[in-house]
Amino acid sequence: MIKKLSELELKKLNSKKGLLALLSKEPLNADRAIRYVDYQRKLKKLQVELIRMQTWAINNNERVIVVFQGRDAAGKGGAIRRITERINPRHMRIVALPKPTEDEQSQWYFQRYVEQFPKAGEMVFFDRSWYNRAVVEPVNGFCTPKEYEIFMNQVNDFERMILESGIHLVKIYMSISKKEQAKRFADIKGDPLKQWKMTKVDERAQELWDQYTEYKNAMFKKTNTDISPWKIIQANRKTEARVNVINHILNSIPYDKNLEI
């Protein structure tokens, strides 16, 4: 039986975005297309608020750091793109650091991240951060047990100093199921425009799922503090996750919601 659509639903489908959403995937799915139109409308409103928040930060010389962690293919990059695509690029940066150089390996672990911290009026989004040492590095043997222990003993004090310096710090963990991760990996491997995203670390993510879970849980237990809590975003559905991520950032930063832009 074909579902009877309401007048409002037909209006949504009859829009440019609605028709594109309806025809972009087979088989045709009206409910999916309507959800996408609703998502786009929500996203636009939230992006206006992000501009307001950024304007407040610029006007008041505020500094904002948003840390994104999560399993491989959890949608961190996609969420960051939706957050940053409408705000002023001169007052924000996306930081996704590569493997540390030989010199960086000899430095205090946090040093290369501190060098990326925001100046007055700037927002910085870390696509993975110092928390690599809490999960990715020990699981894959990229650090020693001693280096891991030192990090876990220092990280809460490090973040306390960040906050006491007046920087706003938001920590987001994007969570997906093992089945969803496998599906996304298959999609990436099958898309020539996305194949570059797969790394050797990604290739072993399914095999090492339980080890990642063990270290992830230890990270939350140690670093989910009252002054610097984690926000876990369920990310199996990308559009919902992006909306929830932006809402959390907006709710975490005490910007002037009545500011004219």
DSSP state of 86: S
d(C-alpha 66, C-alpha 68), whole Å: 7
What pTM, to 2 d.p., does this model score? 0.90
Instruction: Give one DSSP letter per residue of 151-164, joined into a string.
Output: HHHHHHHHHHHHHH
The average confidence (pLDDT) of the chain is 93
DSSP state of 107: S
Question: What does the pLDDT look like over 113-140, one tens digit per residue?
Answer: 999 999 999 999 999 999 999 999 999 9
Question: What does the pLDDT look like over 135-168, one tens digit per residue?
Answer: 999 999 999 999 999 999 999 999 999 999 999 9
* Predicted confidence band of residue 2 (pLDDT cuts 50, 70, 90): very low
CA angle 10, 25, 32 (to 5 degrees): 45
d(C-alpha 239, C-alpha 82), whole Å: 10
Domain boundaries, the chain: 61-252
The residue among 18, 45, 44, 53 whose CA lies nearest residue 33 is 18
Tokens of 28: 């045709």
Can you tell me the mean pLDDT for 225-238?
98
d(C-alpha 50, C-alpha 63), whole Å: 14
d(C-alpha 45, C-alpha 12), whole Å: 17
Q: For domain 61-252, is the CATH number 3.40.50.300? A: yes
